[in-house]
Structure 1
């Protein structure tokens, strides 16, 4: 087993690079973070909440359903990690009137990246969704500084294969299904919204639930997939800084090995959808039999989110 200190060092470095906190020399070739000039950044009707300590915080509202109605703004929010929000960020987030925050991170992630920083009066509901050891594996392989080991673990399609396995587990793992089902029930319940859910990067566990929610209330599949893929746009600059910082620090000779872990891809989503088809006959079966959501709950969800 590897020593804990190198793993902690890698974790601190990754977090620092992601936030642009490394010394100037280490960041000499990175892309600077854009200065936030407004509370919202809107692409078409996507409401991106601009924060300094998180990059993938969005309102799930605005999407048009197949019936010509629209998902309400201000009810459900999706996010990446909230442990490094600034005081200004916390004040900004308080303006959304949140009642519930759900954290899908596993305990190792919370210990490594820190607990959420939230507006006063809000507490986190922890609902870990398994990452099949991805977080620990990634930290260990980076801390090794061994390009051969890094290639063996992540190269030749292995990183993408691990991601597809994680997505299939969203469907097959009882604990994962329970976490997603409880969160959907919370959203359908009047007293629990506005609600925000998040993981570390806000793209996989968060992305899957967002896709499922949008489809459950009648948003077309192509539109829900576009929302899922938007994480690549919102995370691009921060993820690039991570890779460049790891190379500059000497931890990775080929940081592009991390790209399949950092991105969302249609085939990752397809792995979960294919598993839902095999196990439950499709997404509706996943909702009703896999997640155990009855018609009354789905009707309340629709009434809560669609105007």
Structure 2
């Protein structure tokens, strides 16, 4: 990398929304795997009542198809993985299926958090096609993705997916559960928001965990930019378009929370009314996953 390229890289990195550190939760629970960039253990995250999330029980991730056999062996063995929740669409699962045959004894749950293909989030048709589709809209890619966050939480597909997800966690019998989408940012990220809020994690820490994706997906995003710009010779602005797909932003999070407040008044009400996860179920979840 030349000096100029390094300067540009550092400038771009400084422009990303960065998470504030969470006390007692180093590296945001990141697990260093060979093929998985954004897999994290929520264990150690503190809650408002002074407890912490139990380690090796709740894992968030991007899709598993790039995991090495050693990665999968660690997940199944070291974490006693009981279940995997996949928030992707059927098209995504068909294109890049989870390596179920290498994860013996793990139960897989398909809970698509979006109905059909949604621009800029699923990547079901490929990132290059997503960017071409963006070009047909007046709004920019960032605004389009931002506007989809309320859809994930409020539309029927998302409500059904996250309701089912919480019930799986509540019925768990001691093993770990991992949930994922494609990059582990949008649908899996909002899944983490839901679990953390149900467990009583302070909102500031929930936001920080959402933004922490930006610490771990950088090389993936830059590689995509290089590959498709070389192949398709796309116009200037490609960096910003791809950034919208791969990075977490405060305004994405804010738009989702504003939609919840506008429709339900509070996040607790959303859990109770939209996801059928009222105070009693939340207390049961805390008894199971906090220490």
Q: Report the TM-score range of the alignment, normalised by the length of the smaller protein.
A: 0.7 to 0.9
Which residue does the alignment assign to 1:178? 160
Q: Is the 8 A contact 1:181 1:291 kept in 2?
A: yes
Aligned mate of 1:199, from 170, 181, 199: 181
The normalised TM-score by structure 1 is: 0.78
Q: How do residues 1-307 of structure 1 correspond to structure 2 at under 5 angstroms?
A: 44=26, 46-94=28-76, 95-117=78-100, 118-130=102-114, 132-134=118-120, 139=125, 142-143=128-129, 152-153=135-136, 158-191=140-173, 193-254=175-236, 255-256=238-239, 257-307=241-291
Q: Is the 8 A contact 1:46 1:61 kept in 2?
A: no
Q: Is the 8 A contact 2:121 2:245 kept in 1?
A: no
CA RMSD of aligned residues (A): 2.6
Deviation at 1:138, TM superposition (A): 7.7
In 2, Cα distance between equivalents of 1:111 and 1:263 = 24
Q: Is there any run of 5+ residues in structure 1 with no aligned partner, and where? A: 1-28, 32-41
In 1, Cα distance between equivalents of 2:66 and 2:164 = 26
Q: Secondary structure at the match of 2:109?
A: strand
Q: Deviations over 1:243-296 (max 9, x none)?
A: 111122235344312211111111111111111111111101110001111322
The normalised TM-score by structure 2 is: 0.82
Q: Deviations over 1:99-147 (max 9, x none)?
A: 1111001011112223335421223110111152436778478259xx9
Matched residue pairs, number? 264
116-125 or 274-283, which deviates more = 116-125
Deviation at 1:302, TM superposition (A): 1.0
Q: Is the 8 A contact 1:83 1:116 kept in 2?
A: yes
Q: Secondary structure at the match of 1:46?
A: helix
In 1, Cα distance between equivalents of 2:25 and 2:284 = 29
185-194 or 234-243, which deviates more = 185-194
